[in-house]
Homo-oligomer: A and B are copies of this chain.
Amino acid sequence: MKILIMGADGYIGWPLFLRESMKGHEVAALDNYFTRRRVKEVESDSVSPILSLSSRLRKLSELTGREYPLYRGNASNPSFLLNTVREFRPDAIVHLAEQRSAPYSMLGLKQASATMSNNILSTMNLIYAVKEYVPDAHILKLGTMGEYGTPNIDIPEGFFEVSYNGRKDYLPFPKQAGSWYHWTKVHDSNNLMFANRLWKTPITDVMQGVVYGTRTREITETGLYTRFDIDEVWGTALNRFCAQAVAGLPLTPYGKGGQTRGFLSLEDSINCLDIALHKPPAKGEYRVFNQFDEHYSVRYLADTVKKVYEAEIGRTANIVNVENPRLELEEHYYNPEHKKLRSLGYVPSSTLENELKVILGDLETWKKRILSLRKVITPKTFWNRSSVNIPGVQTPPGTS
């Protein structure tokens, strides 16, 4: 199978590239190193010491004896993406090449608009590239569970039966995202659903939960590490709590910590994407997977990290709730369905506790790197302070 992985240099993209290449598939990488550059802009870095993408690909070639094409460029550039698809002619394309940070999108108008255009246009380019050159190819697109928000009812997998004024229809579930970034994923989902209606493009739209972990079964040596971010802009809750514990810093749930989200380990994320790739949708099918293992409150996760850290490492960890930079309910109902991937064979590979032991073990060896980043962990990007930050625009005194 020929697979093009867009965003192959990323946290998920690289382990997925390892999985599919080691299974013997013909895999091509596409990336423009956007995340690497933007992480440096906030004076942060991957805590795991990662090689360049081309070095990792060389390392991988040594292991498998095969060559992997690397397309370096921006997926939101139409001629670049279209020419790549035309040349490589993949059977499946995994789209992980979007700006992926909610806080980044909330920094101000500049980043909000850049996230809108980058994410939406990359998906539009992909839609037309597939329609034109490989109309039967499967688009596997990463969305987020955050598209749904936290409605006070169960969340189905994409669609549900609606009754209204005595009539019924089967409709897309209403979305209520919580950042500009999350909204771009909603816009993408809508555009993909329409592309499928227009041209019967087979599409899997993955509503993925928050991913945690440092390893997958293929990451057995340092040269194959994937990135691991812990700063307030590019990191996510559980990974950050682990890093805080290792650095001797308090674990900092935002607000009350009753925010509940779906979570899954990096190994499980790759397992699910692998299932989606190899059990593709039928021609004409647009399917939505809610991709996570369990849902947890942020409070429960902080408590669990503390417990595992103290038992395994033998030092004390503290929890200090901090002002919530986001706009979100801190106590709410949450019950998303997630049956489809299980019905295709997905079985969670580990438990939260066991996975945390692996993460904490890795982070202990990267402790010095974590300590050097301690000042970029504290939240500084507040949703309600998102500003106008456009060159040539004067802002009124005291507003930004």
Known: A125-B109, A383-B198. A167 touches B190 (CB 8 A): no
Closest residue on chain B to residue A170 by CB atoms: B152
A354 at the interface (CB under 8 A from B): no
* Partner pick for A194 among B167, B169, B171, B183, CB 8 A cutoff: B183
Docked CA distance A174–B393 (Å): 37
A120 at the interface (CB under 8 A from B): yes
Stretch in contact with the other chain, from A64-72, A153-161, A222-230, A312-320: A153-161
| A186 neighbours in B (Cβ, 8 Å) | 190
Closest residue on chain B to residue A393 by CB atoms: B82
A394 at the interface (CB under 8 A from B): yes
Known: A167-B153, A176-B171, A187-B190. A82 touches B327 (CB 8 A): no
> Which residues of chain A in 347-400 are interfacial with respect to chain B, using CB atoms and an 8 Å cutoff?
383-384, 386-388, 390-396, 399-400
| A388 neighbours in B (Cβ, 8 Å) | 82, 128-129, 131-132
A79 close to B174 (CB less than 8 A): no
Q: How many copies does the complex hold?
A: 2
* Partner pick for A168 among B153, B164, B175, CB 8 A cutoff: B153
A172 close to B174 (CB less than 8 A): yes
Report the minimal beta-carbon distance from A119 to chain B, rounded to whole angstroms. Answer: 11
Known: A121-B116, A167-B153. A327 touches B197 (CB 8 A): yes
B128 close to A86 (CB less than 8 A): no
| A400 neighbours in B (Cβ, 8 Å) | 132
A32 at the interface (CB under 8 A from B): no
Docked CA distance A73–B152 (Å): 44
A79 close to B393 (CB less than 8 A): yes
A117 at the interface (CB under 8 A from B): yes
14 contacts between A and B (CB under 8 A): A109-B125, A113-B125, A116-B120, A116-B124, A117-B117, A117-B121, A120-B187, A152-B167, A162-B162, A172-B175, A172-B176, A175-B190, A180-B194, A183-B191
Q: 4 smallest A-B Cβ distances: which pairs?
A: A79-B392, A152-B169, A109-B128, A171-B174
